[in-house]
Structure 1
C-alpha cells in the first residue's frame, strides 16, 4: 500500500491502481481487523462508510505488528526483510530477541534488516517522507528497522498525530506520510476487542481520521489499513506448555508469539519425534508444520538464506481461540485478552479504506 502510494506520487504504475496525486498518507490502525470494524460499524461512521465488498485485504504472516509494519514500509514479505515474528532467534548469539523492543548493541537494526525502506527510496527521488507516531518510538531500534529515511513527527494522542498530518499536508511539494495509531491494539490486549474500551478507542480514531479525510485537497489521497486483526482469548484457554514437560523435550528455544509458537530445537534432538509429539497433542487446536512446510506453503513468501535460521524448526499456529505460554517466563503477558499472530481469517483480514483522491 505504501509502495502504491509512492508510485501514485511518482505518477508510476501502482499495485492497487491509485490515481496520480501530490501527497499520499497511509494510516495504520494497529489491531483494526476487518471483522471487528464491520461488527462495530455504527461506532465508526467515517471508516465504515468507506467499506465496500473489495475493501478487505489479507495481511501477511505472521499476523503481528513488527512483521506487518516492516512489510508495509519495505514492500517486502517477511521471508525477505527478515522480521519473522514478535520474537525471533538471533542465530549468532543463540538467543531469542523481541523484534519490537529488543534492539541494542547486540543486534544492529541496520544489519538485521538491510533492505531500503520506501521512505529511503522516496528521499532518493526527491519526495518528502514523514512518519507520524508517539514520541516514545522516535529513537527505537524498530523505527530504524522500518521507518528509516522518514522525518519523524510525534504526537501524544490520536488527535495530536492527525493535527501533525494536517500540518504536513499544508507543505509544498510531493510527499508520502505514514501515520501510526496504536491505541486500539493497546485496548484490545488489555480488555479484548469486544470490550467497551476498544469501542471507545475506535470512536476516537474514527472522529480524528474523519477530520484528516476532510482536510485532504483534490490531489491528496489517504489509505487506512491495519497490521492484523484480533482474537479474544480467555484466560482459561491458555495452554501452558511447561505443564506438559514432554512437549519441551528437545526444544531449546520458544519464539514467535502466543498464537504462533516457533520451536527451535536442540542440535541433537530428533525433529520428527518432536514434531509428532506436538502434532499428537495440539493438532486439534493448531496447525503444526515444519519450517520447510511453512516455506513450501509460502507463508513467508520467498525466504532468503540469511532469514531461514531465524525461523523456528517447528511452527504451532493456533486455529482455535487458544494461546500458548510458558508460565515460568510469561509474566504479565498472560493478562492479555486480545491476541494475534496466526492464520485465522479474523487475524489476517484487515481493511483497506480509500479517502480523498483515492476514493474516486
Structure 2
C-alpha cells in the first residue's frame, strides 16, 4: 500500500470513473485530504502524547515510495503513480542538460534561474492528474497550500486540475479546507509544510518539533470540528525523517568525483550520472555499510521506483546511492544550505518511508 493509492481510493467514494478503492477507505461525498509534510508514521507513534487527536485515530501505515522526498510524494498524490512512472524522481534530478530543483522549479544551486519556460512543468510531468480526472467527472476539486505555491512549477506539474486557494497560516488553511467541501461531491487537498521545516532545522523529536506537532494536531482537530456532517477527513504525510549522524562531504572527497559527470538528488539519496564503470565500485568501497549503492538497472529491478517508464529512467542516473542508518552525503560548497540542517529524509529506511494514513469520519446529522 503506497501514497499513490490514497487519492484514487478517495475518489472511488466520489464515483469518479476508473478510480479504485484499493485502500478500502470509507466512501464520502465531501472529502478533505490533509497532507502534513514530514509527519512520519514512526514519529507520530513515538510522540503520540503531543498529538492526541491524530493519535486517537486508528493507526495505519502506508509507504511513501522512493525516494522519500517531498516533490516525489506530492507527485504521487497528484497523479496516483509512483516515481518511476510520473518522473519526479527526487528533490533534484537531471532533465536533459539541466539539473532541476523540483521544489523551486529552478536550476539546482541557483534558485533565481526559473526553469518553467525551458522545462515546461506539464511536459516534465505529462500524465493527467487525479484532480483533472475528478474535475472532469463533476467533482468540485480544490487545493489549499502556501500562497507562494500558486502557479509554481511543481503545482502545475502535479496538482493541476484543482482550484487553488493560497494560505498564509493555520487559520486560512483550516477555513480553506472546510470551504472546499461546502458542496456535494467535493474534494479538497490541503498541504501544511512547517513540521518538515522545523524538523530540518532542529531535528525530528526536538522541543521545537514537538511544539509544532501540537499545533498540527490542533489544526487537524479544528478542521474536523468545522467539517459538515457526513464528510471525511483523511490525514497523511509525504515522508518521515531521521536526525543526521555520520556526515560525509562529497566536495572534500576527490576520490568520489572521479568519473562522475553529474550528481543530483539530496543528502539521503544521490543520483550519479557517470563517465566510468569504475564509479560503482569506488563508491561501494568508500561508503561501505553506510549506503546501498546500486546501478540504475539493479535499483529498478529491485522495485525501488515501482514500474519505470522511459520518461523517468534517464532521470534516475547510472548509479543510485541510498544512505543507510543516519548517514548523509552533503556537498559543503555546492549545497551549503544542507550542511546546517539536522533532520533529513529521502532514503529507504522505515523512519523515512513509513507514513500514516488516518481517517476521521464526521458523524451524519
Q: TM-score range, shorter-chain basis? A: over 0.9
Provide the secondary structure at the position in 1 that maps to 2:214: helix
1:294 matches 2:299:
yes
How far apart are residue 212 of structure 1 and its match?
1.2
1:152 matches 2:161:
no
* Aligned position for 1:207: 218
Contact 2:71 2:103 in 1 (8 A): yes
Q: TM-score, normalised by structure 1?
A: 0.93
Distance 1:119 1:69 in 2: 12
How far apart are residue 179 of structure 1 and its match?
0.5
Q: Aligned match of 2:262 in 253, 258, 265?
A: 253
Distance 2:192 2:41 in 1: 16
How far apart are residue 69 of structure 1 and its match?
0.6
Provide the secondary structure at the position in 2 that maps to 1:80: helix
Mean Cα deviation higher: 344-353 or 100-109: 100-109
1:57 matches 2:62:
yes
Mean Cα deviation higher: 323-332 or 253-262: 323-332
Distance 2:261 2:49 in 1: 48
* Aligned position for 1:326: 331
How far apart are residue 145 of structure 1 and its match?
0.8
Contact 1:10 1:20 in 2 (8 A): no
Provide the secondary structure at the position in 1 that maps to 2:14: helix
Q: Aligned match of 2:180 in 158, 163, 168?
A: 168
Contact 2:251 2:334 in 1 (8 A): no
Distance 2:297 2:362 in 1: 43
* Aligned position for 2:33: 26
* Aligned position for 1:196: 207
Provide the secondary structure at the position in 2 that maps to 1:224: strand
Give the total of aligned pairs. Answer: 348
Provide the secondary structure at the position in 2 that maps to 1:14: coil
How far apart are residue 156 of structure 1 and its match?
1.0
Distance 1:51 1:322 in 2: 32
Distance 1:168 1:161 in 2: 11
Contact 1:120 1:150 in 2 (8 A): yes
Contact 1:132 1:153 in 2 (8 A): yes
Distance 2:204 2:171 in 1: 21
Unaligned runs of at least 5 residues, structure 1: none
Distance 1:327 1:186 in 2: 20
Q: TM-score, normalised by structure 2?
A: 0.92
Once the two structures are superposed, residues 2-33 of structure 1 have per-residue CA deviations (whole angstroms, 9 ceiling, x without a partner) of 11111111176411112331111111100000
1:120 matches 2:125:
no
Distance 2:311 2:20 in 1: 31
How far apart are residue 222 of structure 1 and its match?
1.4
* Aligned position for 2:47: 40
After TM superposition, the runs of 4+ consecutive aligned structure 1 residues lying more than 4 A away are none
1:224 matches 2:227:
no
Once the two structures are superposed, residues 32-78 of structure 1 have per-residue CA deviations (whole angstroms, 9 ceiling, x without a partner) of 001111111111000000143xx111111000000001001110011
Mean Cα deviation higher: 96-105 or 117-126: 96-105
Once the two structures are superposed, residues 169-197 of structure 1 have per-residue CA deviations (whole angstroms, 9 ceiling, x without a partner) of 3x222111100010100100111112111
Unaligned runs of at least 5 residues, structure 2: 1-5, 107-114
Distance 1:261 1:227 in 2: 19
Contact 2:66 2:305 in 1 (8 A): yes
Mean Cα deviation higher: 180-189 or 103-112: 103-112
Distance 1:332 1:62 in 2: 20
Equivalent residue runs for 1:275-314 within 5 Å: 275-314=280-319
